[in-house]
Amino acid sequence: MMIGGLVVAAVASITFIIPLPIEWLIVLRVVQGFGFAAVIPALDAVADRRAEAQGIVGTALSTATAVGSLVGGALFALGVAIPFVASAGAGIVFALAAVPWMLSAGARQPVPEGESA
């Protein structure tokens, strides 16, 4: 679900470069939001490492908020479509990079209750 959400968000991002009426842009933004929302349940996928996953995602979201505006503005100076293409490309790269990690995480054996990892 995490990888699918990243791909949906990336595809929605790349479509922002197409000149569309404002109504369609709003719909695409909603689709992009659903894609990013699909990533959040992955935080609870591995119960014994939930706190670690939430810390990593929280740090990434905070960093993205701080740095994203600066990078987006700099990319916008290069061209109107460049920030959207970069965002979609990054989403696809991160989705592909997550595949090996997701496969290895799925191979772990759950820790029985009452035992420590």
Q: In this predicted structure, what is the pLDDT of residue 43?
A: 64
Q: How confident is the model at residue 91 (pLDDT cuts 50, 70, 90)?
A: confident
Higher pLDDT, 51 or 23: 23
- Can you list the alpha helix ranges (DSSP code H) found in the chain? 2-15, 22-37, 50-78, 82-106
Q: Is 10 exposed, middle or buried (0-12, 13-18, 19+ CB in 10 A)?
A: buried
Domain boundaries defined on the chain: 2-106
The whole model's pTM is what?
0.57
Establish how many alpha carbons lie within 13 A of residue 38's alpha carbon, considering only the half-sphere containing its beta carbon: 17
State the number of CA atoms in the 13 A half-sphere of 3 facing the CB.
10
- Quote the pLDDT of residue 26: 92
